[in-house]
Amino acid sequence: MTFDDRITIATPEGVDLELTLAGLGTRFIATLLDVLIQFGAILALSFAVGFSSIAGGGGGGVLLALYYVGIFLILFAYDVVLETWNHGRTIGKLAAGLRVVRADGRPVNFVTSAVRNIVRIADFLPAFYGVGIVTVVVTRRSQRLGDLAAGTIVVRTAKQPAAAPAGWADPWRVPAPAHPDWDVSAVTGDEVVAVRRFLERRWSLAPDARARLGYELAARLAPKVPGADPRSVPEAFLEGLVAVKATRG
């Protein structure tokens, strides 16, 4: 039970991404918060349905059907919707500083989130997340059954997004135009492939990972490109590099 809580994922760009796995305690806090929110929502729904049935009189069957749909949405869709559209974070995870990501560090999508939350039923068994707790404790990457099925891990979010190194511009600025004065002859084909792959998939990366990969690739390649401003916007530099390399080889 003394597994290191950090894992390093090797990316194709040759930059290692280090992630810190969430522990049982923080996961418990996140789950507790989520359960309390869900319980509150179900309670509110129950009061609303009860009030409507007393006030409205008819349509009891429809109301009951809507009530069950509402409960299903609160119990299941809550996790899936928030994880998918809030960068792997439910409200509980956000408060506990956790995030669900895929095993390769990319954000979860609808399918992976749905799978990990459907299997939550098995994790809960025989009671109070018995199976989930055991599997989190005994697996190297602290995965419950749902995580194993979906290929996801729960990691701690960085306290602050990757900060720009001194002198570097913000990574999200509008890309600069191509630079005819750059000498890109020292940049190898493999390096261009790595840059191209990063640029292609940058929108699927978590913001921290994207910023860090961009900085590291730009910092590694900028010295090889005489004429390039080493303090330029990283992704603009990388885009310019690929464009210039494509025209000149």
Q: Which helix (H) or strand (E) holds 194?
A: helix 189-201
Q: Which of 30, 74, 115, 155 binds another protein (CB under 8 A)?
A: 115
Give ∠ CA 6-10-12 in degrees, rounded to 5.
Answer: 155
Contact between 1 and another protein (CB under 8 A)?
yes
Task: Kindly state the smallest distance separating residue 134's Cβ from another protein, in Å.
Answer: 6
One residue of 16, 24, 59, 163 binding another protein per CB under 8 A: 16
Q: Which is nearer to another protein, 48 or 64 (CB)?
A: 64
Instruction: Give me the long-range contacts of 31-34 (CB less than 8 A, separation at least 24).
Output: 31/92, 31/129, 32/92, 33/91, 33/92, 33/95, 33/96, 34/78, 34/79, 34/90, 34/91, 34/92, 34/93
Confirm or reject binding of residue 145 to another protein (CB under 8 A).
Answer: yes
The two three-digit tokens of residue 89, written as one number: 């974070």
One residue of 32, 36, 43, 137 binding another protein per CB under 8 A: 137
Using CB under 8 A, pick the residue from 33, 53, 63, 102 that binds another protein: 102
Stretches 39-47, 54-62, 120-128, 226-234: which one binds another protein (CB under 8 A)? 120-128
3-state secondary structure of 219: helix
Scored b (16 or more CB within 10 A) or e, 109-146 reads eeebbbbbbebbeebbeeeebebbeebbeebebbbbbb
Please state whether the peptide bond connecting residue 161 to the residue before it is cis, i.e. omega within 30 degrees of 0: no
What's 105's DSSP letter? S
Least distance CB 52 / another protein (angstroms):
26
Count other Cβ atoms within 10 Å, centred on residue 226.
Answer: 12
Work out whether 65 is an interface residue with another protein (CB under 8 A): no
Query: Residue 94 and residue 30: Cα distance in Å, rounded?
Result: 8
Q: Say whether residue 110 binds another protein (CB under 8 A).
A: no
Taking CB under 8 A as the rule, does residue 117 contact another protein?
no
| Residue 35 is a binding residue for another protein (CB under 8 A) | no
Report the nearest approach of another protein to the CB of residue 3 (Å): 6
Nearest-approach distance from CB 220 to another protein, in angstroms? 18
196 binds another protein (CB under 8 A): no
What does the binding site for another protein look like in residue numbers (CB under 8 A)? Answer: 1-4, 6-12, 16, 18, 102-104, 106, 111-112, 115, 122, 124-127, 130-131, 134-135, 137-141, 143, 145, 148-151
